[in-house]
Amino acid sequence: MKKTIITVVGKDTVGIIAKVCTYLAENNVNILDISQTIVQGFFNMMMVADATKSTKDGGQIAEELEKLGKEIGVSIRCQHEDIFNMMHRI
């Protein structure tokens, strides 16, 4: 299974979750776990997703999510689980 870590950060607006989840569904990326919070008007979401059934590779998904983020005014980052773990280990 290709687990992917997706983070979304920015000023809270209507439709952020809907737009990100719609993109993922349209590209056969399954959300395995999701956490989101809003702190003083700032939106923060982290997802663990499975991109195994997607016809797109991780790089293409990451680029398209980054572009979507710019369109809706948030920062979206997408990383393979191994890269995320290496960057966040103590």
pLDDT digits (tens, 9 = 90+) for 33-87: 999 999 999 999 999 999 999 999 989 999 999 999 999 999 999 987 666 656 6
**How many CA atoms lie within 13 Å of 27's alpha carbon, on the beta-carbon side?**
21
Q: Is the pLDDT of residue 27 over 90?
A: yes
The pTM assigned to this predicted structure is 0.86
- Work out the burial of residue 23: count CB atoms within 10 Å of its CB; fewer than 13 is exposed, 13-18 middle, 19 or more buried: middle
- Quick one: how far is CA 18 from the chain centroid? 12
